[in-house]
Structure 1
């Protein structure tokens, strides 16, 4: 309870016109444990002990955007919890082409500015299984809210491996992967962010201070995988990497000629972040994946409510960084196949959830150590220069003795 209360997540959970609601499970406690691991391993490498609180990282984006809780509408506004014929589902509409895809999903045209009435009508007469089948086929981020069952296991960190001076090649975008890269950078790694000309990181269009926080001090490379020279440079960059970080379905990088198994065979650590594992074609974002994994709070009438702000993203990012700072004792390579939905599900418990209450004004919770005030999300101060997209391409390739395309 103390970890949840201090994280800022409770303040983002509940209806806009109602009290905050305590989430189920122990995600904030897991995040704190992972950040402690990161700080301890970093100290083994001679770095100054990192002052990182994983619990507070879970709500950090909202501290920059200023967006409050909205109950069954996500904090970011692009995801909804809606009733189906046999339960509830989370549906995201975050990308420019999502209204078209959602129209195909429900076999009807939707209002691009407000697709939700049409989606709600369709879900009312269709099951969660039908939604899952169509969403996976069309690449829509949506799925039924799962009951909290016995959670899958998430591998524990192995032999601690400081990353000071190691090269991280980061193909990821948005939040989970960049947070992992950010934490590795704080621990001393050299982080090179890689984008393609036609697909820059969509987070560049988001809150600039939050983007600065996650990418300050990193180098930016843009390479074109549609050209022979671009693919050759990408392959050489991956060959030089100690850690490769990516957050796309495996076929995306395979198309570029990049092979995770080959990188691991030569001793690299490959961190793969996907919605539901590398063997799945499912896509998802932080809000719909957390809800579909079963991490939802409940209103007094039993209506499910979003927990925090896209919580699967920061929870996965922290976990990914902790695992990247782990390695087999023999120094061999490792492929971390991280399912965002499994990571969320692994934090769920069947323990009863108490209710917050007021004490002389502010909302508080009862923890085993005493009464704890419910904290608001808190930002950290961005540091380091943010590189423009592709600004460091020539310098990075030259430093690694890679021929420029």
Structure 2
């Protein structure tokens, strides 16, 4: 299997495991539109070349990897992970997430009623009477991960000159999937990765599949610091000052509240990777499923739209961020990478109406005839985790002492 085939997007989708996760449980798998799986393979090949083959992975297979651990399956208008839904509005469709403990309360504020523990009936009714633009406005105001399915333009940044990250210090403030995948790939390339959490906001992925969490975090060190404590706030800033690469997935004002300054890191020649749903200038939030659908990446069958894969904006963005981190300006200056998950997805979409082949049954398997071959639709496949995932805060004292931050 070639990791860098660029002329047959349908084949890349079929071999990635994503087609098997796209569609309805009582229907056939669907080949999605666009070329996100192809782009993932291109990024995987770029990373392999930049690391002299130290990190050689099929980028397309990484897109479906989480489902290989969780055993989740395609579910139509409900996301593979179960936390997001595609629902009709007065002028189209929208993707709405309910992934955090406080989201039912926020969705109740969105629709103006008490929704209890099940917000979906009230949200469905409200959306049927409102436009996508009204949803977007209220969702941004309330901090809800939701928005209309649209076709925005997307031009994510491109890698510069490849550079080695072996021995570099990566300080990772991110959580869930996109940022941790970036940090994981940098760790495979030889970087030292330190994961930073706060006492009040540990990585929510720790509550998910333990083996998938270990895959992304195996061999990394774990530091917990409380920015509300003056001493620990200074230590957090000192840790950032020591970093060669900083990865974060927060809105800029949140980091400023922690006393962290991306500009200062870049000015001294460091790399700052900022991963957000819609770019650093946007106040909108989002998760992998609602961002991908909102960017226009949905599939269709005779009954309407369905989700594509499992939170696909996350792994595609993680691959993109890793490639960017493995590059640097030729003059050795620092760089701030503004990585919008929405733009990363939107850039992979073809013109509306581009035809995609239909899957058919042969024996116990689903197959698809692509432009280059007859291909069996692959199931998601996992890699074997390496190393342990550190318990929260296990390495705080050790890391700070080794860096001369705490005696």
What TM-score, normalized by structure 1, do the two folds share? 0.96
Identify which of 284, 287, 294 aligns with 2:286.
284
> What corresponds to 2:173 in structure 1?
171
The equivalent of 2:374 in structure 1 is: 371
State the SS of the aligned residue for 2:51.
helix
The alpha-carbon deviation at position 101 of structure 1 amounts to: 0.3
Out of 20, 23, 42, the position equivalent to 1:14 is 23
Asked whether the 8 Å contact 1:22–1:297 carries over to 2, the reply is: yes
**Residue matched to 1:343:** 344
How far apart, CA to CA, are the structure 2 residues paired with 1:346 and 1:58?
16
Partner of 1:96: 101
Please state how far the C-alpha of 1:162 moved relative to its aligned partner.
1.2
Q: Separation in 2 of the partners of 1:397 and 1:158?
A: 32
Deviation at 1:345, TM superposition (A): 0.3
Rounded Cα–Cα distance in structure 2 between residues aligned with 1:393 and 1:318: 28
Equivalences for residues 56-67 of structure 1 within 5 A: 56-67=61-72
Aligned equivalent of 2:81: 76
Whether contact under 8 Å (1:364, 1:374) holds in the other structure is yes
Deviation at 1:115, TM superposition (A): 1.1
- Whether the 8 Å CA contact 1:42–1:164 is kept in 2: the answer is no
1:130 aligns to 2:134 (yes or no): yes
* 1:64-101 C-alpha deviation (Å, 9 max, x unpaired): 00011000000010100000011100000010000000
> How far has the Cα of 1:299 moved from its partner?
1.3
Which residue matches 1:24? 33
Q: CA deviation at 1:33?
A: 0.8
Question: Which of 183, 191, 194 is the equivalent residue of 1:192?
Answer: 194
1:85 to 81, 90, 115: 90
Structure 1 range deviating more: 304-313 or 352-361: 352-361
What runs of 5+ residues in structure 2 fail to find an aligned partner?
1-9
Identify the residue that residue 51 of structure 1 maps to in structure 2: 56
Distance 1:18 1:2 in 2: 20
Normalised to the residue count of structure 2, the TM-score between the two structures is 0.96
Single out whichever of 361-370 and 269-278 deviates more from structure 2.
Answer: 361-370
Aligned partner of 1:393 in structure 2 is 396
Compute the displacement of 1:111 (Å).
Answer: 2.6
- In the other structure, the counterpart of 1:225 is 227
- Would the aligned equivalents of 1:269 and 1:324 in 2 still touch at CA under 8 Å? yes
Where 2:345 maps in the other structure, the secondary structure is helix
1:196-215 equivalence runs, <5 A: 196-215=198-217
CA distance in 1, matches of 2:176, 2:381: 20
SS at match of 1:336: strand
Between the aligned partners of 1:51 and 1:339, the Cα distance in structure 2 is 25
Paired residue for 1:315? 316
Q: What SS does the aligned partner of 1:155 have? A: coil
Find the residue that maps to 1:272 and give its secondary structure.
strand
Could you give the per-residue CA deviations for residues 4-33 of structure 1, whole angstroms, max 9, x where no partner exists?
111000000000100001100000011111
Whole-Å Cα distance in 1 between the matches of residues 373 and 45 of structure 2? 23
